[in-house]
A and B are shown apart, each in its own frame.
Chain A
């Protein structure tokens, strides 16, 4: 099927089988390999991207469902001039990644939530519930939580 989708502001026209997941279309057809596949059943969250500003599991959507929609991946997180997103700086500052495989998913999850409501970091339960969405096997999560809080306190995203 022919589809077109806008990823990180760039329009992609793709020819895909219906069964191609959004994650594979992003990775293999758009060449955006920052979106990782960790479980392919929606649990780990490494493949989390934003579709129309909502954080979703790109392994549980088909690319054909995104025809005409807008997708944002980790490659589109920094400003066009390369200025890092506050979350990206905060993840480094708080040592919120070790192997880095889960990191893009956590970043896109948190970025969507902060865009929607920066005050989420003021509510420990809401922040915990949000970050419980994804799995990390290296950090034990606390540094990720600190990083999201730190990012919320930093100057707004460059866009």
Chain B
């Protein structure tokens, strides 16, 4: 299990990275944390002709909260921010807590100290934790190339298993997660077989309740479709109603109804997956509701 030969460049600036990517963009891959890419290269499932290593670019490890904008602001994550950075809350609000909860589901500490959040989005594993969260929260992704930049929302970026909207020559430069209003409870739940396996299914949610009524909710699911999806129908069932057990159960059933063409797995069929998705969606929502009472309403 040794990689096939490739050329290697390790530019020191953003501009040099984009220029390097523009040269023979087909067959060139970006090397950030490498925890998925090198794995595939060792298996020779990936055979890039050239790697552009971005680890020497100082600015790419930026992790900033930008509260200046409208809509509550954004958390901006650079291309070299490692999973590990999120193990402790990176901001004091619900988003920081949700990212921290989610980070602990990712692989294990040594992989988390190398692997990056943006790399995980670009890898686009169908049940990857960060892709699931990015879809759930409506993260915006900034793609840069020598020709300029463009911004896509996560759902437009993740178009299939291990497939994204990245074009040859493009770098996924930044992810922007919307900050969550303080009244939001969050949860991330997974079904996996062992601590060393990928998730079969996961559910992520951010639930805002004011005066006993759901004012905003995000519910994302992975493992029920070829890529993580937002359960919008379920969200609609929740908004404007009190988050009672029965309302949550109803929403969870709706969320799982979207099981279509799940990613293949020899150990779980679609009937089980649909059922388990309902359970996970329900548990995520219940946990988020509990999170409100424990974290948001803490005196």
Residues of chain A at the chain B interface (Cβ within 8 Å)? 1, 17-19, 21, 24, 40-43, 45, 48, 54-57, 59-62, 64-65, 109, 113, 129-130, 132-135
Q: In the complex, which of the residues A17, A45, A55, A60 contacts B39, with contact meaning CB atoms closer than 8 Å?
A: A60
Q: Mark B1-41, 1 if CB is under 8 A from A, else 0.
A: 11111111010000000000000000000010011001101
B110 x A1 contact (CB < 8 A)? no
Q: In the complex, which of the residues A19, A54, A60, A129 contacts B6, with contact meaning CB atoms closer than 8 Å?
A: A19
State the interface size on chain B (CB cutoff 8 A): 30
In the assembled complex, the CB of A129 is this many whole angstroms from the nearest CB of chain B, namely: 7
Residues of chain B at the chain A interface (Cβ within 8 Å)? 1-8, 10, 31, 34-35, 38-39, 41-43, 51, 53, 55, 104, 107-111, 113-114, 195-196
Q: In the complex, which of the residues A40, A42, A62, A113 contacts B111, with contact meaning CB atoms closer than 8 Å?
A: A42
Identify 21 residue pairs between A and B in the complex whose beta-carbon atoms are under 8 Å apart, listed by A's number: A1-B8, A18-B6, A19-B4, A19-B6, A19-B41, A21-B42, A41-B39, A42-B111, A55-B113, A56-B113, A60-B34, A60-B38, A60-B114, A62-B31, A62-B34, A65-B10, A65-B31, A113-B109, A129-B104, A129-B109, A132-B195
Query: With A41-B42, A132-B195 in contact, is A57–B111 under 8 Å at CB?
Result: yes
- Apart from the given pairs A42-B35, A57-B114, 16 other A-B contacts in the complex at a CB distance below 8 Å: A1-B8, A19-B2, A40-B2, A41-B39, A45-B108, A54-B110, A54-B113, A60-B38, A60-B39, A60-B111, A61-B114, A62-B34, A64-B8, A65-B31, A65-B53, A133-B108
A59 x B110 contact (CB < 8 A)? no
